Amino acid sequence: MQEVTKVSPKDFLNKVLTGTAQGTIIALIANAVLSAILSYFSSNHYILMVIQAAVILQLATPLIIGGLIAKQFNFDPMRIMVIAGAAFVGSGVIKYDPAIAAYVGKGTGDVINIMLTSAIAVLATLWIKNKFGSSSIIFLPIVVGVGVGFIGMLTYPYVTMITTAIGSLINNFTSLQPLFMSILIAMSFAALIISPITTVGIGLAIGLNGVSAGAAAMGVAATTVCLVVNSWKVNKSGVTLAIALGGMKMMMPNLFRHPIILLPCLTTAIVSAIPVALFAVSGTPQSSGFGLVGLVGPLASLDAGLTFPLLILCWFVVPIATALICQFVFEKVFKLYQRETVFHYYG
């Protein structure tokens, strides 16, 4: 396996984004799909263990992302795992709790800091090359795994301030009139779901609830539907299925190469947010970042009192119809883009 020795800044960024997109779907999809459905049967010991297994896999998010970013640069297995280890250390997913004198794992870590730490680890590994010779197996884990991981731990508090600031801005939308609030939140989450920022983390961090959480989840759902509609016949069926099951971040490279993909996504989110305000489609902090994934958003709104016919209308009929109309109008009528170029999966 020949590692990449020279890479342009643009290609470097694309490789980091591609690895992040692939890693996010692998790490999060199992818990997203299984938790909402199996939670109704959690009284069964073995089903509870399955749920716990999915959560533990989710804890490995930074490890998986870091490894897949390293894979983009064609490193050998040892270097891939060292870079993955550095990402895991710097992610913030594991923290020491002095109150119980133990290390505690929670969430997924900060995706932006995972990307930053992985990028630094890749650069360090490219610079080191074979300078350690036969001692690489000893010094690479120390210099890159621990050293770069330590840098990630130092940047973590500052990088998370970015996520918190964005979350606070979104939360301020709740002070506006409900219709505009729903539209603004839905648009925000529609864009964030295909960015490096985790919508689940923001939803939990700022405590979105009620209609605010419903609007956030609807924004994620709108982008999911829009990407599926435009990916159909453009990508392999497995790619489209992965997007439908929660892999929206797979399209991050597309967002940076072709920002116009936001146009149909945001338009679908705007229209889909209207019934959220009209019918008080509600959710919880846990459901706000998932949308249709694992039916988390629809089930949360059902638990909040939304009737089943309205659930079908709000979560499926309106977004799908809007996404289809947007695809026709923007591509066929106004000829703003070609699906084959803009929505082609680059992974």
**pLDDT tens for residues 260-292?**
999 999 999 999 999 999 999 999 887 888 899
According to DSSP H, which parts of the chain are helical?
9-38, 45-59, 61-72, 77-90, 111-128, 136-140, 149-172, 178-192, 199-206, 210-231, 237-244, 252-257, 262-278, 296-303, 308-312, 318-327, 339-342
Query: What separation, in Å, do the N-terminal and C-terminal C-alpha atoms of the chain show?
Result: 18
- Tell me, what's the pLDDT at 5? 66
d(CA 15, CA 29): 21
The 10 Å CB-count burial string (b at 16+, else e) for 299-314 is: bbbbebebeeebbeeb
Average pLDDT over residues 290-295: 88
d(CA 71, CA 105): 25
Task: Tell me if 114 sits within 8 A of 20, measured CB to CB.
Answer: yes
Sign of CA dihedral 173, 174, 175, 177: positive
Sign of CA dihedral 274, 275, 281, 286: negative
Q: Which residue has the tokens 């938790």?
A: 35
DSSP class per residue in 187-203: HHHHHHTTSSS-HHHHH
pLDDT in tens, 158-173: 998 887 777 677 767 7
The model's pTM is: 0.76
Average pLDDT over residues 318-330: 98
Q: Which residue has the tokens 């913030």?
A: 92
Domain boundaries, the chain: 9-163, 176-342
Residue 154 structure tokens: 């130092």
pLDDT in tens, 26-64: 887 788 778 777 888 989 999 999 999 999 999 999 999
Whole-Å CA distances, 157 to 41, 162, 200: 38, 9, 18
Task: Tell me if 314 sits within 8 A of 321, measured CB to CB.
Answer: no
Whole-Å CA distances, 2 to 18, 142, 187, 213: 19, 23, 42, 47
Map 48-63 to HEC letters. HHHHHHHHHHHHCHHH
295: pLDDT strictly greater than 60: yes
CA-closest candidate to residue 20, choices 59, 82, 66: 66
pLDDT in tens, 191-218: 999 988 778 767 866 768 889 999 999 9
